[in-house]
Structure 1
């Protein structure tokens, strides 16, 4: 199951986050996760220059880089999921989500370190993400047991 997806700019600022379910183990740690992504980028961009997964036992964090065409801005997408979910299925889901809301993300993060977010933008992005994740429920084995009906 994908629990959360975070979009972080290259300055380590959280641009947007989506949560499938409220989990205490994730909700209170979003700033920490954004800082961890920033630290990994500072340590060496090559560490997460390609999709990478870090297993924390009960959770896995999968990192995906997104270079925008419009300007020299990188966004780092982090999917927090069950460690048993296949990395390829998680990547496909995140790729589709990114394609759906890429322009919205660029509007929310016009430059590194600056984020413009409103309730309307957040709700629209979350609605798009919910729709994509719902289509992937059969690929990620844990999603099939969620309250979403097939």
Structure 2
């Protein structure tokens, strides 16, 4: 016996709507899966970007710390140089004062009458200065003088 096909409007409507509902449900599932994958990929990219930014920030901070340390070292070296230069200048001033106090012009050198007398007086002073410097450097002259202190 042959089966009779039903042609009622409800049956026809069901035959049309069921495939459309299945297709719509498949489309919805596909879009949800795609959207979820895209969202996960965006989250992964954002995490990578955050890590890169954090690493870059650490590099910038390290560079700034190195720059500050270098500037501080340069400042300290400059201050040390200035301090040592000042002390050397004070030592030279003390040496010059000590020589001036200890040196006595020979008779006749306070008022030159000839060029030869002037040369002899200057030579005498230079010789005395060299001898004074030799004794000063040897520590034989006891005068209060500044010392270089290291910081």
TM-score, scaled to structure 1: 0.26
Bigger Rg, structure 1 or 2: 2
Q: Relative to total residues, which structure has the larger helix share, 1 or 2?
A: 2
